[in-house]
Amino acid sequence: MFQDPLFLVVGAACLVVVVILLLGIGGFAKGGDFNRKHANRLMRYRIVAQLGAVILILLFVLLRGKS
């Protein structure tokens, strides 16, 4: 399964979502100027990244689930 390029892309997409989420949570916890400037933008990026990850997961299941 680790040799499947689509699986690796799905894993990378999930990792991107986690990184964006952690940046947002870290900014929220720290507060201050960074949080005021970037909190909404980071959460919008997270939502878009999650949408992409979910679509890739569904595509993976659709293509690889038939075998």
Question: Could you list the pLDDT tens digit for every one of the 67 residues in the chain?
Answer: 788 899 999 999 999 999 999 999 999 998 889 889 999 999 999 999 999 999 999 999 999 887 6
- Residue written as tokens 């499947």? 4
User: 52 with 14: CB under 8 angstroms?
Assistant: no
User: 11 with 2: CB under 8 angstroms?
Assistant: no
Buried-state track 19-40, b at ≥16 Cβ within 10 A, e below 16: ebbebbeebeeeeeeebeeebe
Q: What is the pLDDT of residues 27-36, one digit of tens each?
A: 999 888 988 9
As a whole number of angstroms, the distance between CA 64 and CA 53 comes to 16
Rounded to two decimals, what is the model's pTM? 0.86
